[in-house]
Structure 1
């Protein structure tokens, strides 16, 4: 099996039931909905397809893995306005950027959606389009007219709703916008499993959303996207406040010097793992496969490097959302991850995370026991998913088969490294629950007669149940 999970962004190239089914069968663990694009009704239809597929997977005999749903908020970002036709830009051309319409302007005008753009742009000397696909050097700023004149560094095209970066500038926008709050309500009502917070700057942004989610009586997981300079500076507190982290390298690479991005990525992965929080490495991983059927060798190496850091997941964005080869892109990422994991199994020792609690000490002991006892799997019974994530933190070399009585927890565990989450009705008798779970795992082909497994489960002790670590032989 593949231990590193894959997140696929859904979009025009992957919105039908058949297209989503192909991605699922090819290894998609989490489906990502990008709220920067599309309509609420369109996203509702996609969620409906995913829920129907999950229901069918649960009813199958034996049951099939579920798909987790990640709803990624737009966040406080600057974008260009909608245009009928993409604007063709020529290197060296002076272009006008403005929030307002400039009817008398003879030069090309690129309109943006941010009212304070002319004020905020004074904090930088460059404007980047789509994370640097086009760059502009600022020539002049006129607050009186709201006009910013900038010189193009390359030839290119600017279409509708393209992302605009002002490297190093502080953007005068709330971290969570009015649209975001509406989308959060929508996501909770539709039962998504994860909400991705875009362009957050500090841990207080995450806590603000956490308070709102609690008021809505939701248990949705909060994934904080690290893509601003301020977020990097407050990373430890943000990790502590979040349920998971995404290293969004596209915008991050436009906010900080690009040569610093690899080190920042590795540091965030390590800090997230030590905290026991799932972490996703995202953006531009197989970017060329938007247009071509094979990745570049550099892209394959990039995916492999993420796997060597033992990240929980890697993500495909435009490759599956709008590219020409969504399924081949997923298959390519799957192949690279599997090959890298196979190579890493021969390497010792493994990078070990820090033990912080008594529960984590038990989880680490169970992982160590799988190695000394040559176990084929580690089996856990978990109602909230906590035990599954604690075991995953220590990156076992064998699959973690996590049984849960909660279908939402099952889908959320799809993001955790090495975890195979399965639904199981729990009995009042812990031993009966264990026997049922092992039978299901055997029926699904995850366990076989003669296998040894390490089990974390409740066990009877006088008048109560205690948590135990056991070794079982599959009969």
Structure 2
């Protein structure tokens, strides 16, 4: 069944801020153009820049009357090569050393070239026969031997090695903490500036998420946690990570290096379905429109990749290099918008993902979504102080109806920007639930979202005698 497209896009868009988008003029274009969340990558951001840019985004959002959310992506544990006086051209079959204690030398090995590594315990984690990938997997080596100071390898896939290149170790359990000291300092800045989400990199197990949550609670922050899955450990512990976090990011860059490439589409689909089943928002990220960093149009494969994320009913798609250093950041945003709307117009309302919800509240919300899907042109209204009603409705993936979610709290409004099919509104709640509903309907009418004769499915609390009860109402706009 085809659904007539409307002005509402269900798939949310995140873009990463950088030199290409940090100006006030371009930020305004991106926010007005439909961006929902702005990502700050703390691997490359100074604290002074972060403070300036957060306040700039908040000021622009207020001026254009469209509040967007801020996602601070903290760096997490990272293994990198050290500085080199000049790039090294590695040759096939060459013997090469990674040095974890630079002060230690072996006179008999002066002929063997080497580079320092920033992680001193690497020799304890890695084993003979393991694979070492450098510079996003462009260079591949095999471990031949190791001692307390050196890891000796053979070059399998050659390439040019330059300074401070990222190292991946597929299948190797690294004993670095997920929440590093740098992350603590950066997160403290994010808390002070009121960011809405913290993305935790290289999450391997639920404990990693819980450690960050403890830190946030200790510092009085209500920021939501996005767990980034980027290695094989995360895939093995996927279900427990989804349970522990507030949202999941499928970070396909490192994940595509750490896992066999043919497994990546399977992992993505499994992760999206698991998040939907457990009611957690999910983000598909990295390389979505990579060619548009330098080209004005995407490849056909990239178009299909974005379309697949929309077909899978992911909550968000995310731009990285395309909007940090790319030549066409606004065009990338518009391209995601156009593709998502077209795919959403093809969604089958009869298709339902299996859900594991057993609470009475979720069953009531499910009835609201079923009713909305069966009434053409209907809208769903809900009211929430913490965002959970909207999150439950988003997890049920209404196909035909937008979810208009009202909250009296601006922080909750921003956090609902993450949720598929949810359009949030800021509005104080009246003392009586029915007055709150009427105020919301009037706000929607004035905003041009509804017109007389439209059907509204209201999922909310109603006053019955001396208590509030969950209810679903069907109303016609007068």
- Common fold by TM > 0.5: yes
Deviations 1:172-207 (A, max 9, x none): 311211111222222111111111111121111111
Structure 2 residue 295 is matched with structure 1 residue 288:
no
**290-299 vs 411-420, greater mean Cα deviation:** 290-299
Instruction: Go from structure 1 to structure 2 and tell me whether the alpha carbon gap of 1:16 and 1:311 turns closer, same or farther (over 3 Å shift).
Output: same
Contact 2:11 2:340 in 1 (8 A): yes
Match of 1:380 among 367, 379, 382: 382
Contact 1:165 1:255 in 2 (8 A): yes
Instruction: Go from structure 1 to structure 2 and tell me whether the alpha carbon gap of 1:363 and 1:130 turns closer, same or farther (over 3 Å shift).
Output: farther
Contact 1:80 1:111 in 2 (8 A): yes
Structure 2 residue 220 is matched with structure 1 residue 213:
no
Long gaps (5+) in structure 1? 58-63
Give 1:98's aligned residue. Answer: 99
**94-103 vs 227-236, greater mean Cα deviation:** 94-103
Following superposition, the deviation at residue 243 of structure 1 comes to: 0.7
Deviations 1:40-97 (A, max 9, x none): 111111111122123324xxxxxx4321111111111212346687x36455384543
Match of 1:458 among 458, 461, 464: 461
Q: Report the Cα distance in structure 2 between the residues aligned to 1:353 and 1:263, rounded to whole angstroms.
A: 19
Instruction: Go from structure 1 to structure 2 and tell me whether the alpha carbon gap of 1:46 and 1:98 turns closer, same or farther (over 3 Å shift).
Output: farther
Match of 2:130 among 125, 143, 147: 125
Give 2:46's aligned residue. Answer: 39
Q: Report the Cα distance in structure 1 between the residues aligned to 2:242 and 2:143, rounded to whole angstroms.
A: 39
Following superposition, the deviation at residue 107 of structure 1 comes to: 6.9
Contact 1:285 1:315 in 2 (8 A): yes
Contact 2:40 2:73 in 1 (8 A): yes
Q: Report the Cα distance in structure 1 between the residues aligned to 2:221 and 2:196, rounded to whole angstroms.
A: 10
Give 1:263's aligned residue. Answer: 266
Q: Report the Cα distance in structure 2 between the residues aligned to 1:446 and 1:154, rounded to whole angstroms.
A: 58
Give 2:3's aligned residue. Answer: none
**SS in structure 2 at match of 1:33:** strand
Q: Report the Cα distance in structure 2 between the residues aligned to 1:31 and 1:82, rounded to whole angstroms.
A: 32
Contact 1:124 1:167 in 2 (8 A): no
RMSD across aligned C-alpha pairs, in angstroms?
A: 2.3
Following superposition, the deviation at residue 31 of structure 1 comes to: 0.7
Give 2:395's aligned residue. Answer: 393
**267-276 vs 433-442, greater mean Cα deviation:** 433-442
Deviations 1:344-375 (A, max 9, x none): 24x64343533321111011001111123334
Give 1:80's aligned residue. Answer: 81
Give 1:273's aligned residue. Answer: 276
Following superposition, the deviation at residue 435 of structure 1 comes to: 1.6
Q: Report the Cα distance in structure 2 between the residues aligned to 1:261 and 1:412, rounded to whole angstroms.
A: 28
Following superposition, the deviation at residue 119 of structure 1 comes to: 3.9
Following superposition, the deviation at residue 313 of structure 1 comes to: 0.8
Deviations 1:113-165 (A, max 9, x none): 22223443436533223432x1222364443543544426244564x543221
TM-score (normalised: structure 1): 0.91
**48-57 vs 148-157, greater mean Cα deviation:** 148-157
**454-463 vs 420-429, greater mean Cα deviation:** 454-463
Instruction: Go from structure 1 to structure 2 and tell me whether the alpha carbon gap of 1:106 and 1:6 turns closer, same or farther (over 3 Å shift).
Output: farther
TM-score (normalised: structure 2): 0.91
**SS in structure 2 at match of 1:80:** coil
Structure 2 residue 414 is matched with structure 1 residue 422:
no
Following superposition, the deviation at residue 468 of structure 1 comes to: 2.2
Q: Report the Cα distance in structure 2 between the residues aligned to 1:228 and 1:444, rounded to whole angstroms.
A: 45
Instruction: Go from structure 1 to structure 2 and tell me whether the alpha carbon gap of 1:352 and 1:200 turns closer, same or farther (over 3 Å shift).
Output: closer
Instruction: Go from structure 1 to structure 2 and tell me whether the alpha carbon gap of 1:130 and 1:46 turns closer, same or farther (over 3 Å shift).
Output: farther
Q: Report the Cα distance in structure 1 between the residues aligned to 2:211 and 2:159, rounded to whole angstroms.
A: 42
Q: Report the Cα distance in structure 1 between the residues aligned to 2:81 and 2:390, rounded to whole angstroms.
A: 43
Give 2:17's aligned residue. Answer: 10
Instruction: Go from structure 1 to structure 2 and tell me whether the alpha carbon gap of 1:464 and 1:138 turns closer, same or farther (over 3 Å shift).
Output: closer
